Amino acid sequence: MKLLTLLLLSAALGAGPAVQAADEEHLDEAMKHVKEAAAADDGPSIAKHAELARSHAQTADEHLDAAIKSLGSAIEQGKLGQGDRAKKAADEARMHLKAVND
């Protein structure tokens, strides 16, 4: 749901494909570690990969939440004609989306 919301909001700012690529980076890492956890035969390996997967998923989630909030502000401020505020909010969203990719 968050990804769909983010894609819709970012499309309004012209960043749809970039957002999807950024989100996929951490999600791909999370999926990789989930698969490794499921394939592991011992508890310590399972726990290690599950922790890494959770970390990537949480990082993506926190930054996506912040990006969605900033994109909402950018849209709101832009519709009110507050270009400087809208630009600042859009830049904040960009920074959060970039963090999802890191």
The CATH number linked to 59 is 1.20.120
pLDDT in tens, 61-75: 888 999 999 999 999
Enumerate residue ranges in the chain where pLDDT < 70: 1-23, 102
- The token duo for 59 is 């990082």
How far, in Å, are 4, 76, 79, 99, 102 from residue 96 at the CA level? 16, 18, 22, 5, 10
Domain range for residue 96? 17-101
Task: Write down the pTM of the prediction.
Answer: 0.62
pLDDT number for residue 93: 95
Establish if 46 belongs to a structural domain. Answer: yes
Establish if 71 belongs to a structural domain. Answer: yes
Please name the residue that has the structure tokens 């310590």: 44
Reduce the DSSP state of residue 38 to 3 states and report it: helix
Question: How many structural domains does the chain have?
Answer: 1
